[in-house]
Structures are given as structure tokens and as C-alpha cells.
Amino acid sequence: MNFQELGLPANLMQAIEKAGFQTPTEIQAKTIPLVLQGKDLIAQSATGSGKTLAFGAGIIQNAQKGRGLQALVLTPTRELAEQVMQALQKFCRHQLDIQAIYGGVGIGPQIRQLPHADVVVATPGRMLDHLERRTVRLDQVHTLVLDEADRMIDMGFIRDVERILKECPKNRQTMLFSATLAPEIQHIARKHMQTPLTIKAETFVDPKKLTQIYYNVPRNQKLSLLVHLLQKETTGLVMIFCNTRRITDFVTKALRQNSIEATAIHGGLTQNKRSNTLERFHSQRTQVLVCTDVASRGLDIPNVSHIYNYDLPADPKQYIHRIGRTARAGKEGRVINLLSPEDHEAFYLVQREYDVNIRKEITPATPRISIPQREEGGRGTGGRFGARPGPRRFERSDRDSRPSRSSGPRRFDRPPARAPRWGSR
């Protein structure tokens, strides 16, 4: 099947041809004809499967410039809102006014832009903000999309979403796109959709191209092993997943001070910082991204060759979302799990819930990593990831470098309880 057979509007076909898309993905082929017919849909598909074009086809076909807010897309994160907005702008060739509305930035510019918007892509919290301020009206919305619906539920947005749904006209087209079909999604469908059709697409990750391994390693050697493995990588982009913001920052700083040019992204950073970080990673100016699960869903990040789980997620479903960042579109991918004793329960749950083949590897002997006395300024010049010269000492936190009253072994890789002051004594 090709795009011409799907009955797409002429302006959208021109944009698709200009983008160089040849063949529709499975989710596009299955949903676009139904979307163009105005059907309500529940579509199960993974990140990166082309769902933005799938629901965007209906928006572009039915929205008209200057007729008020006609289409609303709800997304769980700011980054996904920006990504969807940019994709829709490209597909409609900027013939519609499309705005992204999310928190973490000033609300004033959004208030000024909303009266001119034909399409809005928004996070639930900020959209409720505007509704309460009466700076937006949804009474003309004829197309409503819930993108990454299961992620919005996981993040506790279901009540916000339902409040927004009640503000929209009942006579509308509603499309729900989700990687999984949780019971709450069925509840939304029964309550807010009109005889929806359910469409499922196979996973976008090719299991034949995906290699998954794990190392058993003491917690106090996990960071040393991570550095050792990264220094041997030669191709592609690397994503390292951590469970908390504090560990993400700790790992990023330690990597940068050990000849690996890494950058961090998590929910505690400003929106500008998060956007700049993703732009650097997309353009491969930075090849190692250390992140929380804010980056495991929704964001389209191509050419990721390696996924490292520095921490295993407590929810096994999140493991599947993480590894879905690699082995996509026919490319090879590799997942490396660093398991310390506290990760074993989560690892067992992943193996119990999903049919995954994760091979055990012998943990190599690794030298204990060291840290410069102070963080050097500027980018490094050596090594694949950008080396940073400077004097070194064994890696440990301030707390660990002081004499301990405990007779037990010192811990070298565990992040300290407070922010480390690298190099102080």
C-alpha cells in the first residue's frame, strides 16, 4: 500500500512527498481511512510508529484557517507537545495556526496566541489553567486526540483529562492513541466516545534486531562498570535510564568527569533546558543522554543504538517502553541492564510479565573510576564522547571521603544524600 491509496488531502500528500515518506506504517495504513471518515478510534501503537500523521490527517482535512479552535491534542509531557506541534505544522505546510500549550513557561504569551489558534496541542494541567482563566474556549472543537493516553493515566492526569473532555462538544470525533490498553482507557472510551473502533499495530521494535543482556554488579561498582562499557562503544546514540532526578544528575556529572560527554534530561529542568538538551541529542552533538522515564515515551528520538538501564524500573511495563527506543525501523539495537541486588525484584517482574530474552554476561574486571579535583570548563577533545583532561582521584562522594564511624566497607558509586561538592575535602 502507498499513501495515494489512503485518500489523503492534496496539501498533505505534498507535505508527505516533500518529507520523503514512501510507504505508510502499519498504524497509518489501518487508521487513516477511518480517521478521514470521522470515526472514533482507540489505536494501540508504540512510540515512533507514525501515529502523529495518522491523527493529523483528520485534523488537517477538517480544520480551516481562522475559524477558531477546532482541534485539540492532549499529550502527557511538554516535549511531546512541542514535537506533535512541529510535526503538524510540517504536515499542514503552516497553513493552520497550531500552538503548543504547556506548563513550565510563562502563561502570558500563550494567552495572546490562543485567540488565533486553529489547533492546540496541550498538556492537561496547562489546558485546565486556561479553562479556569477563561482564556480558551473548546465549544468549537470537532476533533479531540488523546496521545499517549496510558502515559497520561500513569502520571495521574485522568481526572484532568475528563474535565477537559466535558468542556468539548459531545458531537465530535475522539481518537485515543496508547501503547497499552489499561482499564482506565476502556472507562474513558465507554464514557466519552461514540462506538469507537479498536485498532492494534504490532510493536515497532524488531525483536530479531534487539539484543538484551544483563550484568550482576554490586551497587558500589555499577558506575565504574557503566563508564567501562561506554568507553568501548563506537556507534550510535546512547540513552541511560535512571529512576530519579538525583541519580540522573549524579550519573551525568560523574560521566562528564570521566571522559564521557553526557547530558541529562528530567522533569526538574526548565523547559528551555530540556528542549536544548533534546536538540543537542537529536543533532548528535551529544551522544549520551542520561534520563528519567520522561524520555521513554512519546518522544521520537531516532538512531538510538544502545539503551542502558542504570536502575530497573519498578513497573515492568516501563521497561518495555524504555527498550522501545532502540532496534527500530530495521536497525540493530542493544539493551544493557546493570543489576545490583535492589534491582532483582524488578528484573524478575519484567521476566514474569513479558516474553523477553535477556542473556546474562560475565561482568568484566573494571578499574574503579576516578574524578577530577574540579570540573574542567569547555568541551573535551579526546575520545568518542569528548574527553576532559585534569587531575584525578578515586571516585567517591564528600560523605564517603570523610572518616567513617562504621566498620563496614566504603561505598564509592552510590549518589550522596545531598548534592555532591566535587573536589571538596
The grid coordinates of residue 174 equal 475522539
Q: So what's the pLDDT on residue 186?
A: 87
Strands 119-122, 333-339: pairing is unpaired
Query: What is the Cα–Cα distance from 351 to 146, expressed in whole angstroms?
Result: 30
Domain residue extents for the chain = 3-200, 207-364
Please give the full DSSP string across 20-45, using - where no structure is assigned. Answer: T--S--HHHHHHHHHHHTT--EEEE-
Burial tier of 152 (Cβ tally within 10 Å: 0-12, 13-18, 19+): buried
Q: Which residues contact 13 (CB under 8 A, 6 or more apart)?
A: 3, 4
Q: So what's the pLDDT on residue 371?
A: 55
The secondary element (H helix, E strand) that includes residue 198 is strand 197-200
DSSP-derived secondary structure letter, 100: E
**Nearest alpha-carbon partner for 250 in 278, 296, 219:** 219
The grid coordinates of residue 271 equal 523547559
Beta strands in 272-388 (DSSP E): 288-291, 304-309, 333-339, 358-360, 370-372
Asked if residues 291 and 239 have their Cβ atoms less than 8 Å apart, the reply is yes
Phi first, then psi: what are they for 254, rounded to 5°? -65, -40
AA letter at 135: T
Query: What CATH code is assigned to 3-200?
Result: 3.40.50.300
Query: What is the Cα–Cα distance from 39 to 176, expressed in whole angstroms?
Result: 11
Cα separation of the two ends of the chain: 66
**Nearest alpha-carbon partner for 201 in 3, 31, 1:** 31
Q: So what's the pLDDT on residue 151?
A: 85
Residues 413/416/422/423 CA torsion (nearest 10 deg):
-80
**Nearest alpha-carbon partner for 293 in 275, 261, 317, 272:** 317
* pLDDT per residue of the chain (425 residues) written in tens, 0 to 9: 789 899 998 889 999 988 888 889 889 999 999 999 999 999 987 766 788 999 999 999 999 999 999 999 999 988 899 999 999 999 998 999 999 999 989 999 999 999 999 999 999 999 999 999 999 999 999 999 999 898 898 888 999 999 999 999 999 999 999 887 878 888 899 999 999 999 988 655 666 788 999 999 999 899 999 999 998 877 779 999 999 999 999 999 999 989 899 999 988 887 778 878 888 887 888 899 999 987 666 566 778 899 999 999 998 888 988 888 887 766 789 999 999 999 999 999 999 988 889 999 999 998 888 654 443 333 333 344 544 433 343 333 323 333 333 334 444 444 444 433 333 33
Looking up cell 485534523 gives 59
Q: Answer left, alpha or beta for residue 7, where phi above 0 means left and psi between -120 and 50 means alpha.
A: left
Q: So what's the pLDDT on residue 202?
A: 65
Write b or e for each residue in 262-277: b if 16 or more Cβ atoms lie within 10 A of its Cβ, otherwise e: bbbbbeebeeeebbeb
Inter-axis angle of helices 271-282 and 78-91, to 10 degrees?
A: 60
Q: What is the CA radius of gyration of the chain?
A: 23
The grid coordinates of residue 252 equal 551525568
Evaluated on CA atoms 177, 52, 210, 254, the torsion sign reads negative
Q: So what's the pLDDT on residue 203?
A: 57
Q: So what's the pLDDT on residue 137?
A: 96
Q: Do domains 3-200 and 207-364 have the same CATH topology?
A: yes
Q: So what's the pLDDT on residue 324?
A: 81
Strands 304-309, 237-241: pairing is parallel
Q: Which residues contact 330 (CB under 8 A, 6 or more apart)?
A: 206, 209
Query: What is the Cα–Cα distance from 145 to 45, expressed in whole angstroms?
Result: 14
Please give the full DSSP string across 145-195, using - where no structure is assigned. Answer: EETTHHHHHHTT-HHHHHHHHHHS-SSSEEEEEESS--HHHHHHHHHH-SS
Query: What CATH code is assigned to 207-364?
Result: 3.40.50.300
Q: So what's the pLDDT on residue 331?
A: 79
